Amino acid sequence: MSFSKVIAEIVKIEGGRCSFGHQVGEKFVFDQFGPDKKLCGYALNALMPAVNVLLHNGKFPWLPEGEALYWGCPHPGKMYPGLGQVIFKLTVKNHA
């Protein structure tokens, strides 16, 4: 069985900075074993349900075919001075 890969790119940090130090433009490539590099545990836990759906060629009913999915880290951002919520763009890279 072959799986797709999912690319999670940080496209925005709303209201401040990431508490883990991630930056806009950072990319993480997921396969069935997880991301290709270290990712904050809070973001990882938030992303995995959506990543697993996409890895297995699942669909989200509200998402038009071929469009990227946007997903947020659960960090509340504005509740903590200087910190923000990290927004990821998830895209599928189909296997060859």
> pLDDT, tens digit, for every residue of 25-51?
999 999 999 999 999 999 999 999 999
Select from 51, 91, 53 the least CA-distant residue to 69. 91
Structural domain range at position 72: 5-93
Residue type for position 3: F
The model's pTM is: 0.90
The answer on pLDDT for 96 being more than 60 is: no
Cβ neighbours of 12 (radius 10 Å): 14
Q: What is the mean pLDDT of residues 6-28?
A: 95
**Chain segment 76-91, per-residue pLDDT in tens:** 766 788 888 999 999 9
With a pLDDT cut of 90, the percent of the chain lying above it is 66
Q: How many domains does the chain have?
A: 1
What is the per-residue pLDDT for 87? 96
With a pLDDT cut of 70, the percent of the chain lying above it is 93
